[in-house]
Amino acid sequence: MKIIGDSDFVRRQNRSLVLGALRNDGPAARTSIADATGLSPASLTAITQDMLAQNLIVDLPPSPDARVRGRPPIRVGFNRQAAYACLVELEVGRVRYSLVDYGATLVDRIEAALDPKLFLGRDPVAHLDEGIALLGQRNPAEMRGLRRIAISVQGVLERARAGLSWSPVAGLAERDLAGPLAARFGVPVLLCKRGRLLAEGTRWRDPTLRERSVATIFIGSTVAMGMTVRGQVFGRGEEGATEFGHMNHAPNGALCRCGMHGCIEAYAADYGVLRSAYSVPESTPPAPVVPAADYAQLIQRGNRGERAPVQAFRLAGRAIGYGLSRLLAVFDPDCVVIAGPGSHAFHLMQEEFFAALDASLVAKVNGRPEIRTLADESEPIFNGLLLHTLSDIDQHDFAPLPAVAAARPA
Amino acid sequence: MKIIGDSDFVRRQNRSLVLGALRNDGPAARTSIADATGLSPASLTAITQDMLAQNLIVDLPPSPDARVRGRPPIRVGFNRQAAYACLVELEVGRVRYSLVDYGATLVDRIEAALDPKLFLGRDPVAHLDEGIALLGQRNPAEMRGLRRIAISVQGVLERARAGLSWSPVAGLAERDLAGPLAARFGVPVLLCKRGRLLAEGTRWRDPTLRERSVATIFIGSTVAMGMTVRGQVFGRGEEGATEFGHMNHAPNGALCRCGMHGCIEAYAADYGVLRSAYSVPESTPPAPVVPAADYAQLIQRGNRGERAPVQAFRLAGRAIGYGLSRLLAVFDPDCVVIAGPGSHAFHLMQEEFFAALDASLVAKVNGRPEIRTLADESEPIFNGLLLHTLSDIDQHDFAPLPAVAAARPA
DNA sequence: ATCTTATTTTTGATAGTCGAAATTAATCGA
DNA sequence: TCGATTAATTTCGACTATCAAAAATAAGAT
């Protein structure tokens, strides 16, 4: 599908730049946006005029900061009422519904425990429907401006992205999740992979990672990865599987939650490390949920030098290290970020991790990539989902809007 | 680096569409190009007028085909004299210099054997310089229109892409190849990975693979891979390592030509299969070159069911299969193409290949990707290099040229 | 009250697109 | 041979983006 260049193409591009600048840097004066985007001030006037007429953005009151000479800048920011999105984080033991506005402010939130076996008896769509509807009852005005429902899921997305081919949440896979909810609430439903959101959330939090090529590896109850290629999230289309946690580490190896053998996750996720540490046979089906305290305690014991946990974390480091070395054979990022609870145990994994990495040609000749650990406890998944969803609204709903004829006085 | 939308942006985009259509489909009438690109006939008139004035394209004489009613179309095609490129294929035992014109026609070619140890004693830049200069002496007029030198190399490109960090050709790595040649001949020098060219060459030959996401695996004297993501070659930037052949298959496994242990190549390239078939220890340094006849004979013996070669190809299939399964954990293409001499032995590898693939979660839940073998003996590397280089000229030299004021009569 | 400064808007020119009408160059049919 | 038909191409006029430069605006400084 070819995109031809016309005035619409130009407007789309420049509106997208403006919305992106606002999304990245927050409210700003027209001149600042002009500097940030490279557009002329005249164009900023025209573009913001359109957006104001569409109630997409608002002029903010002047800030009472210490000001110098000259006309005070008028900062513009997102009109929070321009759109709303319902973000759903669906995890193994928990579900959380958040209503956010276009300005990325949380409006309301419902959080609930999730019986791991609930969806064996109950239709997950009905459950989600109920949660979203409850949020709507509590916020009817906002719900009328709803533009997206976005759901963070774990598992393998089917190619059409309407459901999951496989999920660690029992009973969730092999159903059309997006279709019925889209029909019910009349808005597009996005299914987003948790691992990939982590990458987007991380990029969002750390400005030095923007514009770079980054692989973010999450280590926790699962092992997941997201990649950005020069600031763009890789795999928006159908080809991005990014099942890094289920990359094979050892043929016929330890049993993974997914039912396969030898996945990285089976060695490096919390349940894998626990299983190794307690010398449970590798063929034993993994525990559905590992309490955070148990994992933290294991790290403590590792820190004290106890043999079993130390060895378990070494195995985990080796699995992640070989996985990364195999990834590097295909994709050579500027920087690798280790995130999630497992990042607190990275010092226990790193010896084997680096040994595995150094066994690869790319790491040997180009040097190890920059490795950072990021102990970000501040909701990277929520933030990734938030940014992803609002950007989606920016790009698809608001960037291509036609000019408003009445916006420009004669 | 933000790209702002302006008239230049539009011209660039649309000129690029027109050049791309011409590159894909060959000479065509303005109306056909309009249909292919989606541009209006009026725009095609304007764009082709500019390009004609710049001598980029030429009106072709009417073809004497059986014609129907109506004004006969005037087909336009590349002006072959608009640019020339020197393509160098540098391989383990051979070097070949080709001079091609902007219409993708071969003008002249020099081919020579390459002593595998030559570059231990001689500066490779001087050797390349001499070869290119000889081509220039034989074609002085064309050489004045030279726009690019493109070199197909094997090995790991250093990040700046001016040389190689590692190469199977002795003495070639750790030198700046591009810089001196660019200075000497006054044109940009592109270093291109052989494996990736294969992907581009394959895409070029098979129109059904355009616009799709494809991984092409080359099996021969090396194992290499190239990927396209929705028709775009992945890894134009610095992040594309694509050292698939040197992805680790088995920790501390067979010795590879690259000096590491357990690379896929060490099991699946010709030398690896030969080594297995003759029960040579895996730690034995590989032969520098395997004669094509020896490899073909091995396939013959495999076809006859001889135990040793059959087992060797099974090992190879297993290595490729696990490599692909690991790739699928990151990148899920529509189609996987097996190319190169090894594709003739794919039937001997496929049982283990598919078994390995089926051990991965992605293949299990999403099904195996479509696998094709492509016994393309028709110079996919040369064609990949050709297409890559001419497209580079299209995009960088000719798409952004400013409009010619005189082109439009008043 | 006037000067200075920085932000924002207005104005006029430019360069692309597109749709519709006009032109061009061939075949078809009487 | 000449007009009708057909299809490709060009021309024309409208439109909508941009930008640079000039003008207007809104404050502090003197």
The confidence score (pLDDT) of residue A237 equals 60
B61 touches strand D (CB under 7 A): no
Contacts of residue B7 in chain A, CB cutoff 8 Å? 10
Q: Contact at 8 Å (CB) between B192 and B151? A: yes
Q: Work out the burial of residue A15: count CB atoms within 10 Å of its CB; fewer than 13 is exposed, 13-18 middle, 19 or more buried.
A: buried
Q: Contact at 8 Å (CB) between B351 and B380? A: no
The alpha carbons of chain A give a radius of gyration, in whole angstroms, of 23
Measured distance CA(A175)–CA(B218) in Å, rounded: 38
* Local confidence pLDDT in tens for the 410 residues of chain A: 679 989 999 999 999 999 999 998 999 999 999 999 999 999 999 999 999 999 999 999 887 776 778 899 999 999 999 999 999 999 878 899 999 999 999 999 999 998 888 999 899 999 999 999 999 999 999 999 999 999 999 888 887 778 898 888 889 988 999 999 999 999 999 999 888 887 777 767 777 887 788 899 999 888 989 888 887 777 656 555 578 999 999 999 999 999 999 999 999 999 999 999 999 999 999 987 889 899 999 999 999 999 999 999 999 999 999 999 999 998 888 899 998 899 999 999 999 999 999 999 988 888 899 999 987 766 888 998 999 999 899 988 887 655 443 322 22
- Nucleotide nearest the Cα atom of A44 (by C1'): C8
Token pair for B138: 């034989």
Task: Assess B225–A contact: CB distance below 8 Å, yes or no.
Answer: yes
The confidence score (pLDDT) of residue B66 equals 60
CB contact under 8 A, A365 and B156: yes
End-to-end CA separation in angstroms for chain B: 39
The alpha carbons of chain B give a radius of gyration, in whole angstroms, of 23
Q: Which residues of chain B have pLDDT under 50?
A: 403-410
- Smallest Cβ–Cβ distance between A248 and the set B156, B229, B326 belongs to B326
Measured distance CA(B257)–CA(B168) in Å, rounded: 7
The confidence score (pLDDT) of residue B401 equals 59
The confidence score (pLDDT) of residue A404 equals 41
Q: Which nucleotides of C are covered by protein (CB under 7 A)?
A: 4-12, 14-21, 24-28
End-to-end CA separation in angstroms for chain A: 38
Contacts of residue A258 in chain B, CB cutoff 8 Å? 361
User: From residue A367, how far is each of A319, B158, B159, B368 by CA, in Å?
Assistant: 20, 10, 11, 34
Q: Quote the pTM value.
A: 0.89
Give, in degrees to the nearest 5, the angle at Cα B380 between B189 and B196. Answer: 55
Task: Assess B260–A contact: CB distance below 8 Å, yes or no.
Answer: yes
Q: Which of A1, A2, A233 to mutate to test the interface with B (most CBs of B within 10 A)?
A: A2
Task: Assess A328–B contact: CB distance below 8 Å, yes or no.
Answer: yes
CB contact under 8 A, A248 and B6: no
* Min Cα separation B115/chain A (Å): 25
- Nucleotide nearest the Cα atom of A68 (by C1'): D28
Any idea of the CA torsion for B382, B387, B390, B394, to the nearest 10 degrees? -170
b/e map B16-50, b = 16+ CB within 10 Å: bbbbbbbeeeebbebebbbebbebeeebbebbbeb
Distance of C1' in D16 from CA in A403, Å: 9
A40 touches strand D (CB under 7 A): yes
Measured distance CA(A277)–CA(A215) in Å, rounded: 28
The confidence score (pLDDT) of residue B155 equals 85
In DSSP terms, B97 is beta-bridged to B88, B110
Token pair for A123: 């239709």
A64 touches strand D (CB under 7 A): no
The confidence score (pLDDT) of residue B184 equals 96
Measured distance CA(A82)–CA(B72) in Å, rounded: 54
The confidence score (pLDDT) of residue A1 equals 60
Task: Name the nearest CA neighbour of A120 among A156, A172, A81.
Answer: A172
- Smallest Cβ–Cβ distance between A9 and the set B5, B225, B332 belongs to B5
Query: Which residue's structure tokens are 């080809």?
Result: A239
DSSP A290-337: --HHHHHHHHHHHHTT-HHHHHHHHHHHHHHHHHHHHHHTT---SEEE
